[in-house]
């Protein structure tokens, strides 16, 4: 993040054309400010750690299939990818290379590797990324399958960390069905690593805004074979897969595991989406359609639309969100003071997400602009569904009064001296324990500044009376 290079300049120009000068000014300013953050370095495993992992994993029984559709891959990239699998500290794997190139550019390189775990499949025709992957899945023998792009590489401990998480889950009586890791990017010759993507644990509404799961995604092979990849979503086939898998697993109460460690290096070059977002605009449209399809399948009356940043989306609901979404117990907004975020989404310990960030900024990986599930949201800007309002009164100690003309709770009815954080956490914990999700929606914004709050209240009261209020 914050790197000044021709690719980022190209992105800025494209962003300007799409979003105008003001948005571009803040977006560029935010990226430039990131240069003041500590630099990122990817640190490979040391010799002792490599040996420790190899020794520790000898008792593990899980098997992996790593599936890679290849298409006239550059030899140096192909070798890098294969070598990254061969060098894994966990050895119980197979690598399936499904070649749709129709020429002899890949096969001789693969056949030069004398490793029986590498399986080369020549496809009869190029059916596109999804169909080529589906053909490769027919040959999968592993318990779990990981998806790897033909010009990317795995960190040396990628399969070990996946195996460890699976084995530890089994010991606790749980069976992970989908696992994913953090990732970063690297330049063409892998001399530089940058833009680490530190991900959240599974968050459904965050996933509906962006494919933050992305790489390295590993699924139970039986599930992946059942779902398959859908050709009509080529370009965002992994996003569509993640949404469909999450939907199925959440419905069945099965485990989704996030491994908070960089295990995947996404190579950037001119043709890649990572380097040049305009190179695959069709992929972003496919992503939007994948989100829309999720909404349609789940009877959510909403329209998926693209946001300012490519590959990021939001659902525009046809009716109030708590009416459109039966899984949500409450929705909370973003509280701003002096132009900076001062309240909104909170962790269980009361820490405020994105606190101090300029309200015009989008935050790390644009998360501050995305709807997302929360452990708690601030009671000073919250709407609670009707079925939970009795619970609200028991926890908070006051009736659920609403602002004029709206269903948002009127926080002025709280007693003086109320500990907003404590009561917010207690309320939202009770709502979650009742089986509902909490949604933090940054588009719902309120002010903590007294003068602005007064103007907002007068405006709401005027609206309720059917009057216009002059500023």
Alpha helices in 20-157 (DSSP H): 21-33, 47-56, 75-86, 107-111, 129-137
Q: What is the pTM of this model?
A: 0.90
The pLDDT value recorded for residue 196 is 96
Q: What does the angle CA 409 – CA 413 – CA 415 come to, to the nearest 5 degrees?
A: 130
333 burial level (CB within 10 Å; 0-12, 13-18, 19+): buried
Closest by CA to 439, choosing from 206, 280, 267, 210, is 206
CB-based contact 442:366 (threshold 8 Å): no
CA 200 to chain CA centroid, nearest Å: 7
How is 108-136 classified by DSSP, letter by letter?
HHHHT---TTEEEEE-SS---HHHHHHHH
pLDDT at 133: 98
Q: What are the tens digits of pLDDT across the range 345-400? A: 999 999 999 999 999 999 999 999 999 999 999 999 999 999 999 999 999 999 99
pLDDT tops 80 at residue 185: yes
Question: H/E element holding 226?
Answer: helix 221-227
Assign domain 47-279 one CATH number from 3.40.718.10, 3.20.20.210, 3.90.1560.10, 3.90.550.10: 3.90.550.10
> In the predicted model, what is the mean pLDDT of residues 63-73?
97
Q: What is the C-alpha R_g of the chain?
A: 24
Would you place residue 22 in the very low, low, confident or very high pLDDT band (cuts 50, 70, 90)? confident
* 314/291 Cα distance (integer angstroms): 9
Q: What is the average per-residue pLDDT within 204-212?
A: 98
Region for 296 from its dihedrals, namely left if φ exceeds 0, alpha if ψ lies in -120 to 50, beta otherwise: alpha
What are 425-460's pLDDT values in tens digits? 999 999 999 999 999 999 999 999 865 555 555 565
Please calculate the CA angle 281-283-285 and round it to the nearest 5 degrees.
75
Contact 98, 132 (CB under 8 A): yes
The Cα–Cα gap between 129 and 146 comes to 15
pLDDT of 17 reads 65
- Domain map (residue ranges) of the chain: 6-39, 47-279, 319-464
- Between CA 329 and CA 245 the distance in angstroms is 24
Mean pLDDT value of segment 95-100: 97
Decide: helix, strand or coil at residue 245: helix
Q: Give the model's pLDDT for residue 55.
A: 98
Q: Is the per-residue pLDDT at 46 higher than 70?
A: yes
What tokens appear for 275 in the block?
């380097």
Q: Which of 197, 204, 66 is nearest to 136 (CA)?
A: 66
In this prediction, residues 45-62 reach a mean pLDDT of 97
Answer whether residue 256 shows pLDDT above 90. Answer: yes
Residue with the larger pLDDT of the pair 270 and 374: 374
* Listed range (1-5, 241-245, 443-447) with the worst mean pLDDT: 1-5
How much is the pLDDT for 42? 95
Percentage of residues of the chain with pLDDT beyond 90: 82
What pLDDT sits at residue 124? 94
Could you tell me the end-to-end alpha-carbon distance of the chain, in angstroms, rounded to an integer? 40
Q: Is 172 exposed, middle or buried (0-12, 13-18, 19+ CB in 10 A)?
A: exposed
pLDDT surpassing 80 at residue 279? no
**Within 235-378, where are the H helices?**
237-252, 281-297, 321-324
The pLDDT of residue 455: 55
Cβ(182)–Cβ(260) below 8 Å: yes
pLDDT of residue 471: 29
Res. 313 pLDDT band, cuts 50 70 90:
very high
**For the residues 195-220, what does the mean pLDDT come to?**
97
- Name 345's Cβ contacts closer than 8 Å, sequence gap at least 6: 332, 352, 353, 354, 372, 374, 376, 377, 440
């Amino acid at each position: 993040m914050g790197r000044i290079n021709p690719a980022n300049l190209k992105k800025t120009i494209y962003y300007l054309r799409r979003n105008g000068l003001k948005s571009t000014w803040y977006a560029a300013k935010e990226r430039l400010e990131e240069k003041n953050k500590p630099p990122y370095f990817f640190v490979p495993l040391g010799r002792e750690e490599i040996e420790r992992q190899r020794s520790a994993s000898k008792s593990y029984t899980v098997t992996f299939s790593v599936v890679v559709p290849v298409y006239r891959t550059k030899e140096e990239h192909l070798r890098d990818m294969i070598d990254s699998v061969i060098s894994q500290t966990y050895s119980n794997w197979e690598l399936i290379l499904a070649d749709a190139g129709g020429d002899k550019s890949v096969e001789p390189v693969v056949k030069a590797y004398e490793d029986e775990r590498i399986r080369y499949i020549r496809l009869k025709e190029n059916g596109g990324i999804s169909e080529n992957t589906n053909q490769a899945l027919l040959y999968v023998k592993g318990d779990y399958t990981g998806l790897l792009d033909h010009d990317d590489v795995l960190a040396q401990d990628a399969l070990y960390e996946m195996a460890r998480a699976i084995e530890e889950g089994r010991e606790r009586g749980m069976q992970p069905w989908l696992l994913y890791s953090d990732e970063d990017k690297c330049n063409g010759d892998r001399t530089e690593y940058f833009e680490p993507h530190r991900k959240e644990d599974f968050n459904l509404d965050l996933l509906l805004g962006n494919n933050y799961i992305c790489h390295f995604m590993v699924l139970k092979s039986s599930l992946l074979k059942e779902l398959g990849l859908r050709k009509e979503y080529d370009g965002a086939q992994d996003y569509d897969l993640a949404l469909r898998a999450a939907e199925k697993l959440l419905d069945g109460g099965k485990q989704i595991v996030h491994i908070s460690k960089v295990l995947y290096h996404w190579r950037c070059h001119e043709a890649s989406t990572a380097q040049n977002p305009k190179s695959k605009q069709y992929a972003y449209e496919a992503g939007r359609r994948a989100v829309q399809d999720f909404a349609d399948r789940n009877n959510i009356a909403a329209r998926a639309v693209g946001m300012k940043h490519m590959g990021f989306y939001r659902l525009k609901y046809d009716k109030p969100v708590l009416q459109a979404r039966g899984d949500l117990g409450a929705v909370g907004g973003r509280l701003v003071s002096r132009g900076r975020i001062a309240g909104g989404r909170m962790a269980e310990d009361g820490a405020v997400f994105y606190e101090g960030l300029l309200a015009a900024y989008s935050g790390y990986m644009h998360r501050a602009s995305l709807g997302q599930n929360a452990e708690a949201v601030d009671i000073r800007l919250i709407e609670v569904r009707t079925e939970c309002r009795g619970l609200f009164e028991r926890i908070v100690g006051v009736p659920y009064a609403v602002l004029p003309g709206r269903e948002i709770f009127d926080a002025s009815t709280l007693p003086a001296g109320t500990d907003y954080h404590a009561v917010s956490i207690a309320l939202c914990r009770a709502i979650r324990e009742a089986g509902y999700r909490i949604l933090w929606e940054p588009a719902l914004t309120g002010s903590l500044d007294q003068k602005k709050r007064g103007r907002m209240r007068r405006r709401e009261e005027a609206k309720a009376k059917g009057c216009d209020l002059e500023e």
